[in-house]
Amino acid sequence: MKDIIVVRAGPGGLTAAIELKRFEPKNNIIILEKSSEIGGHLVSGAIIQRNEYYEYISKYSLKYNTVITNENIWRLTKNNYYNLTRFAPDEYRNKGNILVDIGEICKALATEATRIGVKICTCCAVDGFLSYKDSIVGLILAGGNKIKSDHVIIAEGACGTLTEKIFRHHNIKINKKYVLGIREERKYEINKPTSNNVGSIYHTIGWPSDDNSNGGFVYCYKDKVVIGYVTYLDYSNCYINPYNEFERFKLHPKISELIKGTVKTKYSAKIIAVNDMNNPTVACLHGCTVIGCTLGLMDPMKLKGLHNAIISGKMVAEKYITTTTKMVTNIIDYLTDADMINILKYLIKQVLSFKNMGHWLLLFIKKSTKLYFHGY
């Protein structure tokens, strides 16, 4: 029996905990979540690929699981737009994928995790880690309490404080770009007819930004609309205000038409990490594994990263910790650093041999496409 701690109850962390518990029910697994409730820091407006949806999520009873039937890619000018949908490669098409509420998914996963014996502790922030001979042996909670473990799985998301401390401790540098996503959830007013755009999604580039790598999105659910704007934080104009850009985006004639008759009910902002092609999908350290969006698994051209976070959680549970049991413990007998790295690389290659081919190809197309749009 092993004591395993999962930091944060996001899609990746919850998936890892569930798969670990299913594989070895005797494992003592605890999830530490800083929010007062699961999904409390998440606002809906997410797309998940249909394969991952039907494999991992469809078994749960969800209110929001709208199939995308209409997809639009626009390049906005100040008062008009160009429809670029037909020029998008098939790899970037979202038609047939599923619009979901990420907070609702996390609550469903948390319910399943609790049912099979995973312990979830809310209002529990992590401030640091305990180490012994360069191995992570536990965590330091925000109140100063210490908790020991055989293994720690970190699924904090972008710019996690614990992840950054561990990376600095081990002198690990990962090349990532950061973007700020601002979004609103807007529900239709009472006695107002709902839109006929249910199942439609709109991705935009161009106005109000001078940088075509920034853009917005509008997702149409059956009883609400989610609108957002994403700004790369490496912009050269120091006077840009991402929130003001978002407000200008909402005032565009075509965008304001899409959200007409709705009122704002929720809003949020989130930092998103965008990975470099050479960066890992899982980071393995002594006594610790970093997974999920911490490593920047989002595809910015599709605005999709949820399925990658879930896959990374399942991969670390089934093909890493459970396959090489010695790698779960802090005292690793007969295994050198080189052995661990070679085993991890082999497992990742076996599990994602075909998926990674498409993933890296998409990253390459993404960079090429971004350079292409910069030419306009």
Residue with tokens 């790899």: 91
Name the band, by pLDDT with cuts 50, 70 and 90, for residue 247. Answer: very high
Residue 154 has pLDDT above 50, yes or no: yes
Q: What is the pLDDT of residues 175-204, one digit of tens each?
A: 677 888 899 999 888 766 666 788 889 989
CB 213 within 8 A of CB 236: no
Q: Which two tokens stand for residue 140?
A: 């330091």
CB burial class (10 A; 0-12, 13-18, 19+) of residue 170? middle
pLDDT at residue 211, rounded to an integer: 67
Strand order in the sheet with 98-100: 46-48, 98-100, 65-67
Mean pLDDT along residues 72-77: 89
- What is the average per-residue pLDDT within 3-17? 87
Domains of the chain with bracketed CATH:
1-42+102-175+279-376 (3.50.50.60), 65-100+176-275 (3.30.9.90)
Cβ contacts of residue 290 below 8 Å, gap of 6+? 154, 155, 163, 166, 282, 283
Q: Averaged over 233-253, what is the pLDDT?
A: 87
| DSSP-derived 3-state class of residue 246 | helix
Using the predicted structure, report yes or no on whether residue 340 has a pLDDT greater than 60: no
Q: What is the pTM of this model?
A: 0.79
Instruction: Report d(CA 338, CA 320) in Å as an integer.
Output: 15
- Phi first, then psi, for residue 68 (nearest 5°) are -75, 120
- Distance between CA atoms of residues 48 and 94, nearest Å: 9
Crossing angle between the packed helical segments 11-23 and 102-115, to the nearest 10 degrees: 20
User: Tell me: the pLDDT tens digits for 86-116?
Assistant: 887 777 788 888 888 888 888 999 999 999 9
Task: Place 364 in a pLDDT band, splitting at 50, 70 and 90.
Answer: very low
